[in-house]
Chains A and B, each alone.
Chain A
Amino acid sequence: EVELVESGGDLVQPGGSLRLSCSTFGFTFRSFSMHWVRQAPGKGLEYVLGIDPNGQSTRYAESVRGRFTISRDNSKNSLYLQMSSLRVDDTAVYYCLKDCGDYGMDVWGQGTTVTVSS
């Protein structure tokens, strides 16, 4: 069974940094692109960014350009999101997603909560 488990969410002050992790199980991680999507409290979904199997990132959402970086370690079956210069409006649940090919995304993690507040 495919499973994605996010971790690293925390309370952080504006301007701070945080690194999220996504541990994956049940599939050949190195063969699939992966993505991060976030959801602010009471709001809709926002695509953040993604990465292909070779480590090339997709085009960034304007809201995170220059502040967020995605990476992966295929030897550890893990995905990461490095966030810096965090702002209050980055407060959200961050979800890790698996790509399924053919322009689809199939499996979601349960999410990890990032709160940016002073």
Chain B
Amino acid sequence: QTVVTQEPSLTVSPGGTVTLTCASSTGAVTSGYYPNWFQQKPGQAPRALIYNTGNKHSWTPARFSGSLLGGKAALTLSAVQPEDEAEYYCLLYYDGIRTFGGGTKLTVL
């Protein structure tokens, strides 16, 4: 079974920049895995941020960006705000099957 791996936790200072990554047990993540990124705050439903590697939804703040980096999918947050503290999940496509990563808990401190 394919495993998608994310950093369990990261900490960033307000105003700083942080990159979350998403790796595949099958090898390098390419654009053909169509990475999606989601944000979930405690007690809330998740919210979509990025689709197909780097495309933003209309509500996605400009400080969020998606890319491919070093064989992984990446979500970069610039000028981090306190309200960005949340759990972040990536999702990859595998031959018609979609698989979520385990999530990264981002702390803004």
Contacts and interface: CB of A to CB of B under 8 A. Distances in A.
Contacts of B46: 45, 95, 108
B57 A106 contact: yes
B97 A61 contact: yes
A95 B45 contact: yes
Interface in A75-118: 95, 100, 102-111
B36 interface: yes
A106 B48 contact: yes
At the interface, is chain B mostly helix, strand, loop or mixed?
strand
Contacts of B93: 103
A110 B45 contact: yes
Interface residues of A, number: 23
Interface in B56-109: 57, 89, 91, 93, 95-103
Contact of B48 (A50, A104, A109, A111): A104
A44 B22 CA distance: 14
Given A45-B46, A45-B89, A47-B91, A105 B51 contact: yes
10 contacts: A45-B91, A62-B1, A103-B34, A103-B36, A104-B34, A104-B51, A105-B36, A106-B51, A108-B48, A110-B45
